[in-house]
Amino acid sequence: MTNTQDQAAQTDAQDKVVIFDTTLRDGEQSPGATMTHAEKIEIAGLLDEMGVDIIEAGFPIASEGDFNAVSEIAERSVNSVICGLARAQTGDIDRCWEAVKHAAKPRIHTFIGTSPLHRAIPNLTKDEMAVRIDETVSHARNLCDNVQWSPMDATRTEFDYLCRVIEIAIKAGATTINIPDTVGYTAPRESAELIRKLIAEVPGAQDVIFATHCHNDLGMATANSLAAVEAGARQIECTINGLGERAGNTALEEVVMALRVRNDLMPFQTGIDTRKLMNISRRVATVSGFPVQFNKAIVGKNAFAHESGIHQDGMLKNAETFEIMRPEDVGLSGTSLPLGKHSGRAALRAKLEDLGFEVGDNQLRDVFVRFKELADRKKEVYDDDVVALMRASDDPEIERIKVKSLRVQCGTEGPQQADLVMEIDGVESTSTQTGDGPVDATFNAVKALFPHDARLQLYQVHAVTEGTDAQATVSVRMEEDGRIVTGESADTDTVVASAKAYVHALNRLLVRREKSGKDTPEINYKDHS
């Protein structure tokens, strides 16, 4: 038997760790990370293709939109179990089942807060809560053979009571018991000890899968999840890029690559195709409006970058001196393919494929036009420039508002002024406005042409690549009547990128208005010069 065959046989013999992705549910709860219906369907498809075992697609009772998204994801699913979340209420559970029942492999996930702090919210005694757990888990099991139960804030629940309610849930038919560290308070040693004791002391524990769900408030989510696996948990709940409320959740890419790279210490396997990690990371960052920090493990821009002279020298002699995993393992190209104004469609398509994008002829034609425009302004087009171009072509929403031309006046000698031409529903209008800087003046001009009451919550700029000719990526987040939308655009001109990002958000806001039945205010198309 060859070394490769021997290694494969050893991997097959290892315990499998189930990957439960909750990007579309817990991840989307992060303020401002709300995704459109089409974006949820797309992300679910990417997760399914990547080999995620279970996709928690949403909280069906939360809204009609969430219900519809979970339902469509369930119908489209190919490989993954599709899961919906439900509170410990029969109405929630029924609604959840209606959403997931058409999946080839459906799951109901029901939960209730069991710690003293959470028991006080519904004002239930321990006995009353125990009865509700028994009734609701039994109800879910009568609908679906695959039922997950979670005692929310488990790590701050009295151990004896936690054992009691877990035993009740198992007897009522739960097949997976999830132990959430809801507020990220636990340390790795505690995480492992809790799982180990529960498996040892709860009757029936050997017949179910124990899961771990860790938040990152103290920066220990990945460590806590891996510690739980070593103690006997066989399901990790996580999100792409660690997206989630407050400081986020366990990052899928971190636990998966940790199990792969340190398989000598943690001999477990997952079914994830890690070569797809970078692509889905970038897509989630785009649709959520939450950029990945440059030094983020595995998928950050600098995760495989080496600037130090000593590091560069070592890398040139042997990449293993400073890299514990190959860029190709997470979906990055291992070779360099410089792009410039003389590059053709074939080179661009090859680069896109290296970066994990599959494009049709029509999309390639559109991206190639904008690539040539960018290449005429830059000496070299870098990988991140190409990713930014793809982001601009990924949004399927109709553009009712478009930036046609923009000229700004700025500097130490005021006033700062923007001359803007926009097309709104096919009609061109112009406006000249002043402001506290060119971006403020530009936003004032947009608002003059398209009046609205949306409040700008976030304005963020970062350079896509290095150098004075770098593209700037601008992200904005806006809120109107409780509806939160994000917009993003990239351009070598920061003010142009800002205008396009602002308008991108407004286009999304129009879609939200239409879905909610709110009429778009009448627009005065006359010039505002």
Q: Is 249 annotated to bind ligand?
A: yes
Q: Is 24:57 a contact under the CB 8 Å cutoff?
A: yes
Q: Which two tokens stand for residue 161?
A: 């009571």
CB 182 within 8 A of CB 153: yes
215 labeled part of a ligand binding site: yes
Any binding-site annotation on 362? no
Per DSSP, the three-state class of 424 is strand
Q: What is the DSSP string of 425-481?
A: TTEEEEEEEEESSHHHHHHHHHHHHS----EEEEEEEEESSSSTTPPEEEEEEEEET
Torsion of CA 326, 328, 332, 337, to 10 degrees: 100
Structure tokens belonging to residue 452? 């609205």
Degrees (nearest 5) of the Cα angle 521, 524, 525? 130
**Residues 344, 351: Cα–Cα separation, whole Å:** 11
In angstroms, the Cα distances linking 99 to 19, 107, 176, 460 are: 21, 10, 20, 37
504 known member of a binding site: no
Find the angle CA(80)-CA(81)-CA(82) to the nearest 5 degrees: 105
Reference 195, options 174, 216, 211; nearest CA is 211
Name which of 355, 391, 353, 398 is nearest 370 in CA terms. Answer: 391
The answer to whether 243 and 30 are in contact (CB under 8 A) is yes
Reduce the secondary structure of 126-145 to three states and give it as a string.
Answer: HHHHHHHHHHHHHHHHHHCC
Please say whether the dihedral angle defined by the alpha carbons of residues 132, 53, 78 and 49, taken in this order, is positive or negative: positive
Annotated binding site: 26, 213, 215, 249
Annotated binding site for Mn(2+): 26, 213, 215, 249
